[in-house]
Structure 1
Amino acid sequence: MCGIIGATSSCSDVVPLLIRGLQRLEYRGYDSVGVAVVSGGLVTVRKGAGELEVVRRRLAIDGMSGTTGIGHTRWATHGPPNDVNAHPHTDCTGTVAIVHNGVIRNYASLREELIAKGHRIRSETDTELVAHLIEEGLGEGRDFVEALARALMRVEGTYAFAILNSREPDRVYFAKNRSPLLVGVGDKVKVVASDLPAMLEAAKDVIFLEDGEFGYVTPTEVAIYRLTKDGYAKLSDAEVASRVRRVNLTPEAASKGGYPHFMVKEIYEQPQAVRDTYEGNIDDPALAKVSSALAGASKVIVVAAGTSYHAGLVFSYLLARRAGLLPHAIISSEAPYLMNAVEEGDLVVAVSQSGETYDTLEAVRMAKDLGAIVVGVTNVLGSALDRISDLKLYTRAGPEIGVAATKTFLSQVMLLELLSIRAGVDSGRLKPSEAKELLDALREVPQLLTYTLEASDPVATALSKSVAGGSMYVLGRGLGSAIAREGALKVKEIAYLHAEAYPAGESKHGPIALVERGFPVFIAATSDAREVAGNAVEMAARGARVYVVKPADLSLDLEAKETITRIDMPPSSGTLELEPFILTPVFQLFAYRFAVGKGYNPDKPRNLAKTVTVE
């Protein structure tokens, strides 16, 4: 996730507007920043690695001037955060400058093609390639609209672009596909941005662009085109005018997308986050390299902490099921006590959202000293884990402001599920046709998550008002056990309720002694472990208030008891890989709604930090 802004004005310098817009977008990315303006028939670019205020002073961005410009604050997805990879990017001639939010899936093949044609590719980003594709069209004598349309037809993946063209100094071009992009309509200024906060100072009237739309703005005009099977078509002025909406939000409120807290905003960003993870990894050669390393490893060890450990448990379970590999999932802080078992040729999969988690890094360093190969799974390019790992995979979920991990958890699950499927094929245990079915199912997860969120929030709100007591159990079997652990963690860290998670089959080995009348028990029921129904009945027989969270099409043999409540989420059609996405959100939202109801701040839970960098 990155923040982009473009502006063109008939009467004033837009650089101050760009800077203020970037300040309000910095929560979307903060590893590098850049600005480009058209002035005197030339495109001038200043960009660099670092936070906005540091780069702003270092490069004297305030000293730039122009009535048309674009800006970008980056969260790296291709190429580490450095001055060269910072946006904007230009073509070979310096005519075109572009900023981008999203992931280009087919960047590897496009890069090879453009290099073969003689283009000078300066950065490691996927974004720069689009500038060169537009350059190709302009070099063939096409106008900019047609050159842009033809470039978009070559691109696979997600994008929101803002583009300058030195030949048309009063225009900012734009394009959108599955990444947010809006047009702000002011009297003498027009703005293009990835989020509302960046534009509300200049324009309260907004056009929300649809996927497949592109076009340009001038100080007095908005032109929108739509890609079609045969090319593209222009929307009429009346169609464009009918799309204008008035937005009554302050920039501060808009930075949370109109939500009261970042946590709930990020919960609702999960469809986009997992889409970016899927699109950014499904064709990534790195996935094949890691799968090959899994097949050749003597042992596979997964190290992670907190929420990332729960994602590692999901991975371990599915890797055993799909590829016949039995990995050892270890909590990072416990790993040093087990390192005597690590040998040369073992593979360590280290999962960390930030890539800076102290315990995980210590485990990785010890494993490397013993000759293990390390696969780093992180959300942050250039992080310590990224730098130290032998092989790297990136979730590409974008920055997460709330302390509690939500969208980053399901993004980790998505990436690790893709890896487990690839490993299943490479091991010969999963037929290519079976893998295709699973990958096709995962492609639909963003839409499935949207339905799940719609179904979960009313249930979570009601539960937050009815669940009483200071303790509860969250149980599951099989994959449901890992989901239960993550659900319980959210309840503990945000709602401040004691929620104990464990495999449901362990109930009779001690924990059931705590169950009494009215004791809340949540069960994450998955299609691989229908016997969890028996555990629900056992709990209900001791007076517990049991809530069974399950896919709607999962048939369970549950007695018709008043103390057992079925919570049906969207169906999974028996596809186990979909069930973490179906069952997790209700726990996230329950924790959030309970916390808000008690007056707690869900974005800053007590005693916790976003990244644990101490022992």
Structure 2
Amino acid sequence: MCGIVGIIGSKTVTSRLMAGLRRLEYRGYDSAGLAIAADGAIDRRRAKGKIVNLEAVLTVDPLDGPVGIAHTRWATHGAPSVTNAHPHRAGRVAIVHNGIIENFAEIREKLAHRNLESDTDTEIAAHLIDHEIDQGGTIQDAVGRALAQFRGAYALGILVEDEPHRIYCARRGSPLAVGIGKGERYLGSDAMALAALTDQLIYLEEGDWAVLESDSIQIFDDNGTPVERDITVVRGADDIADKGSFDHFMLKEIHEQPDTLARTLSHYLDLAAMGVSLPEELDLGQINRIVIVACGTAFYAGMVGQYLFEQIAGVAVDIDIASEFRYREPVLDPNSLMIVVSQSGETADTLAALRYAKEAGLKTAALVNVMTSTMAREADVAMPINAGPEIGVASTKAFTSQVAALACLAVGAGELRGKLDSDSVATHVRELMGLPTKVADSLKSAAEIATIAGTLAGASSAFFLGRGTMVPIALEGALKLKEISYIHAEGYAAGELKHGPIALIEDGTPVIASAPMDGLFEKTVSNLQEVAARGARVILFTDAEGKAAAGDQVDTCLVLPTAPMISAPIVQAIGQQLLAYHTALALGTDVDQPRNLAKSVTVE
């Protein structure tokens, strides 16, 4: 959510700040702005909507200098508007902010004598820093005193008019990195923001704050003690913000899945031994229970993992939505393993759940796409999905790589727990290694799916059904359609239809089912007959054997490659991704940056 980029040096920075903001568009935003320190003064430009609007403002009213901070905002406090856009000003202070200052009302009351322009918590933060400067001492001391008063999640970039040779920054709960260049220092929400500027990054740790000058970085911990943090060399981030020959990043990322899955699987599978390579620290053979916690699409990947761990490894699994996990005060067995699943590794609710489990004494593992993320650093075990940077807000390749990694872990756990013999393990390994080819074959159905999507685009509501491991695929299919086409969609376990949802079926209602031929196929088809009898238009995603068995009982049948239980969810997910994409395309929505959504949700 939101994005920050900052530069301090001797050369002008506006064009490079704007380039950094464009790299952050994938995070989701509804306004943008920048502030420049030059000639002993700070000035700013802001615009509602896309970055192109800010570019238009700068064309009419240029602004440049050697020091600047810039921001893309996803609205939390206050509606999207120029007034609420960042950077915010208060006296000598300009500030950009990702996250939420939870005690902003308390601070606002303390500063009631000051004039406020916006509805945001960020402006309150700027006023508090300016107020602390008024209290005396050095500006650095004043910034430290203000930071100590904030509660919540934040990443901050701060300019102070009296010190135009410095950028202050701080991080608590929201990710932030500083970069090193020749005669310059940088500030960014992630490596993408700074990819064209440097490959040398320092990831600030929880509670850190820093003072950047053109040739130095001073970092302080939560107690104000000077600390050193490691420099990480990040390669390749500059190469991926390119759609290539594809119309959208989402379509590119859908088509990258044969390669991304191969990378995921090669990390976890040992082909020489026909086995699974697990991190030694996991010790999956000794735990009593697995707790999987995630949000959104990652939660549905975790649901598939739950089925696989229980069916393949015989280990009990709880799965929780991260935003609810702590608040139900779960009873946790210390001999459990918590696996948090997150593409970014920064999802606020999931990170809070991870910390809750660590405090309760559980071993923790983070399954993430960003191995420099907060979750990867704080978990006992960090496990990559190796999907590569994902730009489209609606997750595709990260989802399938998460499922693939969980499938590998389930096989490894099954072997360690004595549920699988070596022949069974080898069978699963062969099946998983065949997955990239099956996904590539699934992508050949794109044209046929586009035709189906053209008819779906006129619907006001749709239902997605499945049984077994297809239930989370139905839920994920519905989410994808909602996210990028804005058509209301619901996913259900097919057996639940008769318990209420069937009341919503009327003539022409699209019902999309994922049902490859398996032990639950006949039950699913029976459920489809129930909705067809009430006028539903039934679209079945299945395999060749399923199509033959379904006959004329469905309106439309889309055949995907035949796949075994362990990989069928991923094959079916490809069809759902393409259906959502082409429906959104037919409706003309913004596929890569759907309204109201952000790529990385770093606030609760």
Amino acid at match of 1:287: L
Deviations 1:16-57 (A, max 9, x none): xxx9xx999989x9xxxxxxxxxxxxxxxxxxxx99994444
User: Which is further off, 477-486 or 551-560?
Assistant: 551-560
Label 1:296 to 1:443 Cα distance change in 2 as closer, same or farther (>3 A): same
1:426 partnered with 2:416: yes
SS in 2 for 1:577: coil
Question: What is residue 224 of structure 2 aligned with on the other side?
Answer: none
Alignment equivalent of 1:608, drawn from 590, 594, 597: 597
Question: What is residue 16 of structure 1 aligned with on the other side?
Answer: none
Question: What is residue 274 of structure 1 aligned with on the other side?
Answer: 261
Deviations 1:583-607 (A, max 9, x none): 1112111211121222211111000
Label 1:261 to 1:541 Cα distance change in 2 as closer, same or farther (>3 A): same
Q: In 1, Cα distance between the equivalents of 2:548 and 2:282?
A: 35
Alignment equivalent of 1:547, drawn from 519, 539, 545: 539
Alignment equivalent of 2:556, drawn from 561, 565, 587: 565
> 1:391: how far off?
1.2
Deviations 1:83-105 (A, max 9, x none): 9xxxxxxxxxxxxxxxxxxxxxx
Alignment equivalent of 2:333, drawn from 343, 360, 365: 343
Alignment equivalent of 1:520, drawn from 505, 510, 518: 510
Label 1:51 to 1:446 Cα distance change in 2 as closer, same or farther (>3 A): farther
User: Which is further off, 272-281 or 346-355?
Assistant: 272-281
SS in 2 for 1:275: helix
Label 1:328 to 1:75 Cα distance change in 2 as closer, same or farther (>3 A): farther
Aligned Cα root-mean-square deviation (Å) = 3.6
Question: What is residue 212 of structure 1 aligned with on the other side?
Answer: none
Amino acid at match of 1:323: A
> 1:276: how far off?
1.1
Given the two structures, how large is their TM-score scaled by the length of structure 2? Answer: 0.60
> 1:564: how far off?
2.8
> 1:377: how far off?
0.6
Contact persistence 1:515–1:542 (CA under 8 A): yes
Question: What is residue 529 of structure 2 aligned with on the other side?
Answer: 537
Q: In 2, Cα distance between the equivalents of 1:257 and 1:514?
A: 42
Question: What is residue 150 of structure 1 aligned with on the other side?
Answer: none
Label 1:492 to 1:262 Cα distance change in 2 as closer, same or farther (>3 A): same
Question: What is residue 585 of structure 2 aligned with on the other side?
Answer: 596
Q: In 1, Cα distance between the equivalents of 2:316 and 2:548?
A: 28
SS in 2 for 1:488: helix
Alignment equivalent of 2:572, drawn from 558, 583, 590: 583
> 1:58: how far off?
4.7
> 1:436: how far off?
1.0
Q: How does 1:431-446 map to 2 (within 5 A)?
A: 431-446=421-436
Q: Which consecutive residues of structure 2, in runs of 5 or more, have no partner in the other structure? A: 1-15, 27-174, 187-194, 204-229
> 1:343: how far off?
3.2
Question: What is residue 391 of structure 1 aligned with on the other side?
Answer: 381
Q: How does 1:192-231 map to 2 (within 5 A)?
A: none
Question: What is residue 492 of structure 1 aligned with on the other side?
Answer: 482
SS in 2 for 1:354: coil
1:506 partnered with 2:493: no
Amino acid at match of 2:385: T
> 1:295: how far off?
2.6
Contact persistence 2:277–2:412 (CA under 8 A): no
Contact persistence 1:551–1:571 (CA under 8 A): yes
Question: What is residue 406 of structure 1 aligned with on the other side?
Answer: 396
Amino acid at match of 1:347: L
Contact persistence 1:533–1:556 (CA under 8 A): no
Q: 1 or 2 for the larger relative contact order (CA 8 Å, sep ≥6)?
A: 2
Q: In 1, Cα distance between the equivalents of 2:277 and 2:183?
A: 35
Q: In 2, Cα distance between the equivalents of 1:613 and 1:53?
A: 18
> 1:549: how far off?
0.4
Label 1:524 to 1:347 Cα distance change in 2 as closer, same or farther (>3 A): same
Question: What is residue 315 of structure 2 aligned with on the other side?
Answer: 325
SS in 1 for 2:513: strand
Amino acid at match of 1:295: G
Deviations 1:415-439 (A, max 9, x none): 1111011111111111211111211
Contact persistence 1:303–1:312 (CA under 8 A): yes
Q: In 2, Cα distance between the equivalents of 1:570 and 1:485?
A: 21
> 1:608: how far off?
0.4
Q: In 1, Cα distance between the equivalents of 2:198 and 2:307?
A: 31
Q: In 1, Cα distance between the equivalents of 2:570 and 2:330?
A: 36
Identity rate, percent: 35
Deviations 1:265-294 (A, max 9, x none): 1111111111111112324997243652x3
Contact persistence 1:309–1:331 (CA under 8 A): yes
Question: What is residue 244 of structure 2 aligned with on the other side?
Answer: 257
Label 1:452 to 1:58 Cα distance change in 2 as closer, same or farther (>3 A): farther
SS in 1 for 2:330: helix
